[in-house]
Each structure stands twice: as structure tokens, then as C-alpha cells.
């Protein structure tokens, strides 16, 4: 019997999730993949490692959904109860699956380990369920069907049980679950994401205006994280994919009209990736001189594969002595009555010193007060000066901006890095300097 997967739910299993000891990243990833496959996700449920609660959750989700994707609890230890819970929900016996047992054995042999009764339990499945091969670990997945009686009569709901460890879960989903999905025919879901930096989420909403009203099959929403405001575009409706894309093209054009100059990338692109792509296209290099970020800006840049094509390195000048010795900041700027280490003058001297000393085409310099100590009159915690210096003109082109971030250390460091990247991004994109979020006049 086949039915469409019009409504799906995700069931996460694990004490560590309900107790707040680990973050449920599996449901986020699964939701994204299911929605992109055209299967609409209507609920996320989490239960502890408890056989009865898990079996009850499966049956109650089956009343309202056509598919439940369950993660966790498939391993060999006593707290891994998913096989038993599915069997109870299906009202089925647990039987040993010979093929799965052979796979568990092969996987263990490859790791030079012997089969224990615990491992053997992983090859058990409800009699009417199938196992799903695990390409990365020993625990096979399960695929079963629940039959439940609701007020509307008998319903069927498919259940996929995947391992908890994210890599195993993702691989099993891609290799064996995706092909079993039956998104409703005649319904298309297409999504796009555009990323902006420099605007508050509420400003983005104002600029998008009526586009954000949820009334047609075209939906626009925003999410904010670390200063990046992402605009999510979604088509969900009866048109075939090509026609949906035409509608999304038009919607994207209008979104770009609204936030255009602040838009830096799309889909999985990050600000650092976009900056590095612009640098690579121009065959230009970048370096950093960092005080309050302690090297974090260079770390963010070098996390991107291929960054060595453009990133030459960084000077971490946390002390005044090293600002002078390594970055050539004039000692007169750093004395008691001078502008001080947290000043526009110092940031600009650091950027120019790095341009020269590191031999780069562009240098980003950051100096500020990350806190909790160090506030001065007129310079509260969260005050940061960021400078960008670029070769090409004589003297080199330097730009300094002052920011006032929220007075929380991690936040100051994080936003400093991204604001520095945004300044370089604006420069490389040939845009006039636009005021960034938290920038002071």
C-alpha cells in the first residue's frame, strides 16, 4: 500500500536533548531536506530514552502525519530503545535480520572488533519492518509502517528510524531515505535564500514591505544570525517546478530591489566566502592586524577552503608594545594623553602598518574594548574601531569606522570580525560606504 507523504513529523530521541545537554541539529537538517524534497514538515517532537514514551509518540504522530522520521536510539547500549519502541508501536515481534547481522559483522571486522550480544541486538527489527544499511556505522536504520485508527478511520504512516550521530544520519537519509519519499503529486516546493549584512531584521522587513505578507503561494521570511539577515523565499503550490521558478525569479527581483546594496550572497554562501571570492577574482591579497579579536578574523577567513590564495596572514597585536613594534603604530598615539589604543587614529595606523609589514593589497585592523573591563570615559565596553587600508593610491586609501556593540565579550569579538569583512566586501564590490548596523556616526 502506498500513500503520499503530505505531512511529515520529526521525532528526536535522547535524554541528552530533553535535558539540554546537546543541541538537536538533526531536526533542523532533516526539516530542510524534507521541505526541499517537497515533503511538508508539520511538527518536531522530542522524547527521552524511554521505550513507552517513544512508542506513544510514534502512535500519536501517526494520527496526524504520513511520515515520521525518527533519529537516535539505534545503538548497542541499554538506553538505545528505538527498535523496541517501533515494534511496540507496530504491535510486532522483534526478529533477527540476517542481512543486517552480516552488515554489522562486516562493519565490526573492518574495525578489528568482535561481535558482542549488544551488537547483535542491533540486527533486530520488527517482523514487518525493513532494515536500512548504515554506510558509516554499525547500527542499521529501520523502515516500517504504522496502522492507526483515528476518528477519520484507519490511517497509515511510514516511519524511518535513523541513527543519532549526525554524519551517519545524513548519509543514511541521502543514500536510502530520499528515494523512498513520496512528496504529494501536483505540489511543488522551491526555496531560495539571499543573505544581507548591515541592516537590522526590522529594517529588512520594512524594505520588503508587502512582500512579507503571507497570503499567496509565494512566501518571504527573514532570519537573523550574527548580523547576517537572510531573506528566505519559498514557493509552495500547484505549479510545475519551471513555472514556480519563474515566479521566484520575479520575487527575487523585487527582494533585490528592496535590499539590493546590502545583499552579499545566496544559499550556503558566507560573508567570508564572498569576500574571498571577490579577492580571488581580482588576484588581490588580504591581511589582518588584530587587537581585541585576538586573531579571530584571520581564523574566520582561513576556515574557508582555498583561502591561502588570498589570505597572507595576520599580526595579533594585543599589547600596546606590539602595536608599536609589529604594526609600527607611532608610540605618541599610545601614550597616556594621546588618542590611545582604542581610537580611529590607532586603527588606521594598524591597518597602514599591516599593509606595509604584511605586504598585502588590503589590510583590516580591529581595536576595541571587548570587556568586561577596560571601559574609558566616552568609550564604553563594546566600543570598536575598524580600519580598512587598500593599496592603489598614494597615500593608500584608508577608511575607519567606529562601532558600538552590545557589551558582551563574545558578541563584540564576533560582530567585529563580521563588520570588518563587510567593510572590505563593500569596498571590493565598488559600493559607496554604507552605514553598517551598530556603526556610530
Site string for ligand ATP, 17-46 (x = CB under 6 A): x----x-xxx--------------------
Residue ranges of E strands in 97-167 = 124-126, 130-132, 141-150, 153-162
Cell numbers 546594496 label which residue? 261
Closest distance to ligand ATP from the beta carbon of 232 (Å): 22
Q: Is 49 in the site for Mg ion (CB under 5 A)?
A: no
Q: Which of 27, 55, 69, 80 binds Mg ion (CB under 5 A)?
A: 80
> Is 229 one of the binding residues for ligand ATP (CB under 6 A)?
no
What are φ and ψ of residue 21, in 5° steps?
-90, -20
Rule CB under 5 A: say whether 75 interacts with Mg ion: yes
Give the interface segment with Mg ion, choosing from 67-75, 141-149, 279-287, 311-319 (CB under 5 A). 67-75
Rank residues 164 and 354 by Cβ distance to ligand ATP and give the closer one: 164
Note whether 123 and 140 are within 8 A (CB).
yes
Count the site residues for Mg ion by CB under 5 A: 2
Chosen residue from 32, 106, 156, 166 binding ligand ATP by CB under 6 A: 166
Task: Show Cβ contacts of residue 212 under 8 Å, excluding neighbours closer than 6 positions.
Answer: 205, 220, 221, 222
Closest to Mg ion by CB, 118 or 325 = 118
Residues between 51 and 80 that touch ligand ATP (CB under 6 A): 71-75, 80
Cα–Cα distance, 213 to 360 (Å, whole number): 47
Q: Which is nearer to ligand ATP, 79 or 414 (CB)?
A: 79
Question: Which residue, 26 or 40, has its beta carbon nearer to ligand ATP?
Answer: 26
Q: Is residue 168 at the binding interface for Mg ion, with CB under 5 A as the rule? A: no
User: Nine-digit cell at 121?
Assistant: 541486538
CA pair distance 121, 111, nearest whole angstrom: 18
Cβ atoms < 10 Å from Cβ of 81: 22
CA neighbor of 248 nearest in space, from 236, 235, 239, 237: 235
We find the least distance from the C-beta atom of residue 105 to Mg ion, in angstroms, to be 19
Figure out which of the listed residues 5, 12, 276, 388 binds ligand ATP, where binding follows CB under 6 A: 12
From 175, 386, 233, select the one nearest 296 (Cα to Cα). 386
Total chain residues near ligand ATP (CB under 6 A)? 21
- Distance between CA atoms of residues 233 and 196, nearest Å: 14
User: Please, which residues bridge with residue 220 across strands?
Assistant: 233
Alpha-carbon span 300 to 208, nearest angstrom: 30
Our finding on whether 140 is near Mg ion (CB under 5 A) is no
Binding residues for ligand ATP (CB under 6 A)? 12-14, 16-17, 22, 24-26, 71-75, 80, 137, 139, 163-166
Amino acid at each position: 500500500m502506498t500513500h503520499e507523504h503530505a505531512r511529515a513529523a520529526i521525532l528526536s530521541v535522547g535524554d541528552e536533548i530533553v535535558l539540554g545537554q546537546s543541541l538537536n541539529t538533526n531536526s533542523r537538517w532533516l526539516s530542510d531536506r524534507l521541505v526541499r524534497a517537497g515533503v511538508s514538515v508539520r511538527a518536531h517532537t522530542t522524547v527521552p530514552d524511554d521505550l513507552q514514551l517513544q512508542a506513544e509518540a510514534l502512535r500519536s504522530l501517526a494520527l496526524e502525519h504520513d511520515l515520521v522520521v525518527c533519529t537516535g536510539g539505534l545503538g548497542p547500549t541499554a538506553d538505545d530503545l528505538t527498535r523496541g519502541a517501533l515494534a511496540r508501536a507496530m504491535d510486532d515481534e522483534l526478529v533477527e535480520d540476517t542481512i543486517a547481522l552480516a552488515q554489522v559483522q562486516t562493519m565490526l571486522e573492518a574495525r578489528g572488533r568482535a561481535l558482542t550480544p549488544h551488537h547483535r541486538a542491533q540486527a533486530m527489527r520488527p517482523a514487518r519492518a525493513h532494515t536500512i544499511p548504515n554506510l558509516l556505522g554499525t547500527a542499521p536504520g529501520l523502515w516500517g509502517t504504522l496502522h492507526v485508527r483515528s476518528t477519520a478511520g484507519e490511517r497509515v504512516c511510514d516511519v524511518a528510524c535513523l541513527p543519532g550521530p549526525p554524519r551517519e544520519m545524513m548519509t543514511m537519509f541521502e543514500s536510502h531515505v530520499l528515494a523512498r519519499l513520496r512528496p504529494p503529486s501536483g505540489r511543488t516546493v522551491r526555496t531560495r535564500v539571499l543573505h544581507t549584512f548591515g541592516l537590522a531584521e526590522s529594517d529588512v522587513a520594512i524594505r520588503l514591505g508587502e512582500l512579507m505578507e503571507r497570503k499567496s503561494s509565494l512566501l518571504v521570511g527573514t532570519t537573523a544570525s550574527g548580523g547576517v539577515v537572510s531573506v528566505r523565499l519559498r514557493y509552495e503550490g500547484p505549479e510545475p517546478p519551471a513555472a514556480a521558478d519563474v515566479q521566484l525569479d520575479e520575487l527575487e527581483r523585487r527582494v533585490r530591489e528592496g535590499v539590493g546594496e546590502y545583499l552579499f550572497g545566496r544559499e550556503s554562501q558566507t560573508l567570508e566566502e564572498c569576500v574571498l571570492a571577490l579577492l580571488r577574482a581580482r588576484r588581490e591579497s588580504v591581511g589582518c592586524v588584530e587587537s581585541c579579536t585576538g586573531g579571530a578574523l584571520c581564523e574566520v577567513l582561513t576556515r574557508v577552503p582555498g583561502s591561502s590564495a588570498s589570505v597572507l596572514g595576520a599580526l595579533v597585536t594585543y599589547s600596546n608594545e606590539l602595536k608599536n613594534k609589529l604594526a609600527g603604530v607611532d608610540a605618541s598615539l599610545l601614550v597616556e594623553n594621546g588618542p590611545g589604543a582604542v581610537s580611529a587614529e590607532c586603527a588606521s595606523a594598524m591597518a597602514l602598518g599591516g599593509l606595509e609589514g604584511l605586504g598585502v593589497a588590503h589590510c583590516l585592523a580591529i581595536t576595541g574594548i571587548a570587556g568586561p573591563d577596560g571601559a574609558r570615559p566616552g568609550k564604553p565596553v563594546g566600543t570598536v574601531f575598524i580600519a580598512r587600508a587598500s593599496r592603489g593610491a598614494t597615500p593608500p586609501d584608508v577608511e575607519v569606522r567606529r562601532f558600538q556593540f552590545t557589551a558582551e565579550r563574545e558578541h563584540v569579538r564576533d560582530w567585529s570580525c563580521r563588520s570588518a569583512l563587510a567593510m572590505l566586501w563593500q569596498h571590493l564590490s565598488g559600493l559607496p560606504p554604507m552605514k553598517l548596523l551598530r556603526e556610530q556616526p
